Amino acid sequence: MPPRPATERQEPSSGPLRVPRAVLADDRCGSQPATTGAASGSREALRAALDLSCALDPVQLARRARIEPDPWQAGLLRSQDRQILMLCARQSGKSTVAGLLGIHQALYHPPALVLMLAPALRQAQELFRSARGLYGALGETVSAIEEESALRLELVNGSRIVSLPGSEATVRGYGDVAMLIIDEAARVPDELYAAVRPMLAVSGGRLVLLSTPFGKRGFFWREWSEGGPGWARVRVTAGQCPRISPAFLEQERASIGDWWFTQEYGCEFVDRLDSAFATDDVRAALDPTVTPLFA
């Protein structure tokens, strides 16, 4: 099935878009020295205009964080797809775009719970640090920080961005999720995916899966290859990333070998090195007309 571009517009994301009335009312986000009435009035008007443009166009939010999105990143930022699959090479910019999507949701659709999951604590911290860095680069925003920790950002507008290492125990207890982001999704166990999907059932929240491939197995591979038209799919190889040089890629191929290189930089799902049979051969050999002996 050909990948569907992420730029097609679907249903709107959950919750109404909140434009920046709060900017003018929330004096906690003001860090400028006091100015005369007219000057501060025009400064606030400018800030409100800037916030309005970021609310309406997440690409403007990225630019405000000093990121000029690559075309595929801009497409995803502007898409309103409820389910997104990013099959992207290492260092191509997938965590950056996921972080920006999460921040936009938290700032402009409050009160929103944005959950960021990763297979292990270190990866969860890294994803959160990246999102926190982007939020910091925005400067004064429509909503200031109420509270924060190494894995959590709580905004004055009531939104929360929470990063969690992936285990069923850590994610249970969260409900009404406006956006669920799963980083390194190919390495997250199927049981965890089954446990988190219901969190979106009531809220109608968005689901964003991002990963390099990790063999032909697991929910990320299944959703990518046979998940149907309910997903927007974006595949970005290292060769398509303007920040990764061909010389670096040649060096990497030489040091990690073809098998890893094809996955990590070429974004192809390949069978495990120790598989006795290729997944495609096994699937081709299956006959759907035969009734199993022990069904």
Q: Which residues bind ligand ADP (CB under 6 A)?
A: 67-70, 73, 88, 90-96, 130, 243
Pick the piece of the chain touching Mg ion (CB under 5 A) from 56-64, 94-102, 110-118, 137-145.
94-102
Q: Which does 141 bind (CB under 5 to 8 A by kind): ligand ADP, Mg ion, none?
A: none
Q: How far is the CB of 243 from ligand ADP (least distance, A)?
A: 6
Q: Please state the closest distance from residue 92 (CB atom) to ligand ADP, in A.
A: 4
Span interacting with Mg ion, options 95-103, 161-169, 215-223, 224-232, rule CB under 5 A: 95-103
Determine if 95 is a binding residue for Mg ion (CB under 5 A).
Answer: yes
Nearer to ligand ADP, 113 or 210 (CB): 210
- Contacting range for Mg ion; rule: CB under 5 A; set: 67-75, 87-95, 174-182, 225-233: 87-95
Write 228-231 long-range contacts (CB < 8 A, 24+).
Answer: 229/1, 229/4, 230/82, 230/83, 231/4, 231/81, 231/83, 231/84, 231/85
CB under 5 to 8 A by kind: which of Mg ion, ligand ADP, none does 226 bind?
none
How many residues sit close enough to Mg ion to count as binding (CB under 5 A)? 1
The answer for 45, left when phi > 0, alpha when psi is -120 to 50, beta otherwise, is alpha
Of 92 and 143, CB closest to ligand ADP: 92
DSSP assignment string, the chain? -PPPPTTS--SPPSSPPPPSHHHHH-GGG--SPP--HHHHHHHHHHHHHHHHHHHH-HHHHHHHTT----HHHHHHHH---SEEEEEE-TTSSHHHHHHHHHHHHHHHS-S-EEEEEESSHHHHHHHHHHHHHHHHHT-S-SS-EEEEETTEEEETTS-EEEEEES-HHHHTT--S-SEEEETTGGGS-HHHHHHHTTHHHHHT-EEEEEE---SS-HHHHHHHHHSGGGSEEEEE-GGG-TTS-HHHHHHHHHHHHHHHHHHHTT------TT-SS-HHHHHHH--TTSPPTT-
Q: Which does 81 bind (CB under 5 to 8 A by kind): ligand ADP, Mg ion, none?
A: none
Q: Minimum distance from CB of 2 to ligand ADP (Å)?
A: 23
Residue pair 26/94 in contact (Cβ under 8 Å)? The answer is: no
Nearer to ligand ADP, 24 or 253 (CB): 253
Shortest Cβ 183–Mg ion spacing (Å): 6
Q: Does 211 bind Mg ion (CB under 5 A)?
A: no
In the bound state with ligand ADP, the residue whose beta carbon lies nearer, of 20 and 93, is 93
Binds 66: which of ligand ADP, Mg ion, none (CB < 5-8 Å by kind): none
Q: Choose from Mg ion, ligand ADP, none: what does 109 bind? Cβ within 5-8 Å by kind.
A: none
Q: CB 117 → Mg ion: shortest distance, Å? A: 13
* Residue number with the smallest Cβ distance to Mg ion: 95
User: CA 201, 235, 184: angle at the middle one, nearest 5?
Assistant: 60
Rounded least distance, CB 95 to ligand ADP, Å: 3
Least gap, CB of 67 to ligand ADP (angstroms): 5
Interface residue list for Mg ion (CB under 5 A): 95
